[in-house]
Amino acid sequence: MFRNRMPRYEILSEQSMAVLDSGWRRLVSEIGIEFMSDRALDLFREAGQQIEGNNVKFDPDWVLAQVAKAPREFDVQARNPANSVHIGGDSMVFSGVYGPPFVREGEVRRDASMEDFRNFTKLAQSFTALDSAGGVICEPNDAPLDSRHLDMTYALATLTDKMFMGNVVSGTNARDVIAMTEIIFGGRAAIEATPATISLINCNSPLRWDDRMLDAQFEYSAANQPVVITPFLLMGAMSPVSIPATLAQQMAEALTGIALSQLIRPGCPVIFGSFLSNIDMQSGSPQFGTPESATGLLCTGQIARHFGLPVRSGGGLTSSQVPDAQAAYEGLMTMLPTFLAGINWVMHTAGWLDGGLVSSYEKFVIDVQILEVLQKEFTPIEFTEESLAFGAHLEVGHGGHFLGAEHTMERFRTCFYRPFLSSSDNYDRWMRQGAKDAAARAGDVYRKKLADYVQPPMDEAVRAELEEFVDRRRKELGD
């Protein structure tokens, strides 16, 4: 797990933050937030908030009092303790793309399958820079709909020994995931003591939380499993065409969702979520890697710290249809601010293509390459007398070179980060090696990774119990 010990890049003045604070307070108190769940409305009513139909008008100070109950930092355990992670503070935890119904492999774009799901999960296991495959690394369209969450959770839990995300399609699915997690980690008490999943709860922005997501949130929060309370904001569609307005809306939605989690179980872990970009105002298409989204991201990190909450944002987002130059610069246009903002939980780190509709094998590899460079770049170096290497200068003198200097010989294996994908071959050598661009080389990398993949060991009794659970539940669900 990476710790970002570099400075945060903060662009909001105190005055700007005060404007945003006044904004979310006015939204939650004057317009209110809709919760399409009677259980949620009952909790808010009991807590003295003003209910009108499904709409809740909040006392902002009461909201902040609930938010203050959430932990600033917490651990999430993985099956392999070496892969357990810490959420909050200076930690940054990276997971794969989440949600695409399609995959791209070379020139082929097609429906994602369970086989693809397993492949991407194996790739996530294979790259140490990634902390998790995530959850819906692609949508396995050939698996039966009602029991698909069982297959996905089983794959995540057995093909990786990293932490994995929980299914949020329904409360029932959430209960199944929790039950499987209990089997793996030794019972309810064990996962309540140290959570073992993170789940993504999206807002139906603007200003509405829907019933299915809330049902899942009730299950996960009750089991002390962290939820990422995420306003889903494409400016121009789900929020106004103004970054400040969108940030205030994001605060209103996230903070009220977090307040609910603290009513379900005071002190349960939450993450302040952000998914914020904009649409193309001529076509209506979502755009990613935009300057507006980067600005929103930088502000979001600062806002979450303002409330003392861990924060989710970022990822290798792009609108590009193929793993080309656009895919790379749009992805990095989001990932570099992700590091500058010190985002704690990063979804969509690897594999995102085509506005999130496609999980791309090649883009997955390109994104991990970018991630490794950034992890190196955001590792502080030491400025000491010894680091000045005065002796090397004495040895080399004027107009010489340092290739054979003693200082170099002692350090050449580890002094610089060495990329696994980027090529600095000279032109002739690059031509001799097939003149492959980065996407073609990325194809070679993922095929080799899959060929070399070794499944991490698992206690056979646990595996048998998991399989029994999956079989039983699949029958009960009628698949």
Stretch 25-54 residues interacting with a copy of itself (CB under 8 A) = 26-27, 31-34
Supply the minimum distance, in Å, between the C-beta of residue 92 and a copy of itself: 15
Contact status: 276 vs a copy of itself (CB under 8 A): no
Contact status: 257 vs a copy of itself (CB under 8 A): no
In the list 331, 342, 351, 356, the residue contacting a copy of itself (rule: CB under 8 A) is 331
User: Helix, strand, coil: what percent of the chain each, to 5?
Assistant: 45, 15, 40
Which tokens sit at 109?
């774009």
Contact status: 370 vs a copy of itself (CB under 8 A): yes
Report the alpha-carbon angle 150-151-155, nearest 5: 115
Q: What whole-number distance in Å separates Cα of residue 468 and Cα of residue 422?
A: 45
CA dihedral 464, 128, 304, 222 (to 10 degrees): 10
In the list 261, 320, 338, 359, the residue contacting a copy of itself (rule: CB under 8 A) is 320
Residue 468 CB coordination number (10 Å) = 11
- Applying CB under 8 A, what is the total number of residues that bind a copy of itself? 127
Output the DSSP codes for 32-51.
-EEE--HHHHHHHHHTT-EE
Strands (E), 129-170: 132-134, 163-166
Contact status: 282 vs a copy of itself (CB under 8 A): yes
Options 79-87, 167-175, 277-285, 456-464: segment touching a copy of itself (CB under 8 A): 277-285
E strand or H helix at 16: helix 14-26
Residue 88 or residue 323: which is nearer to a copy of itself going by CB? 323
Please give the C-alpha separations between residue 379 and each of 74, 83, 234, in angstroms, as whole numbers. Answer: 22, 20, 32
| Phi-psi map region of 358: left, alpha, beta (phi>0 left; psi -120 to 50 alpha) | beta
E strand or H helix at 259: helix 243-264
Contact status: 448 vs a copy of itself (CB under 8 A): no
Residue 426 or residue 452: which is nearer to a copy of itself going by CB? 426
Contact status: 478 vs a copy of itself (CB under 8 A): no
| Per-residue interface string for the shown chain with a copy of itself, residues 93-132, x marking contact by CB under 8 A | ----------------x-----------------------
φ/ψ (deg, to 5) at 251:
-65, -45
Contact status: 144 vs a copy of itself (CB under 8 A): no
Options 4-12, 128-136, 172-180, 458-466: segment touching a copy of itself (CB under 8 A): 4-12
Contact status: 7 vs a copy of itself (CB under 8 A): yes
In the list 116, 354, 356, 473, the residue contacting a copy of itself (rule: CB under 8 A) is 354
Site for a copy of itself in 386-405 (CB under 8 A): 387-390, 392-394, 396-403, 405
Contact status: 208 vs a copy of itself (CB under 8 A): yes
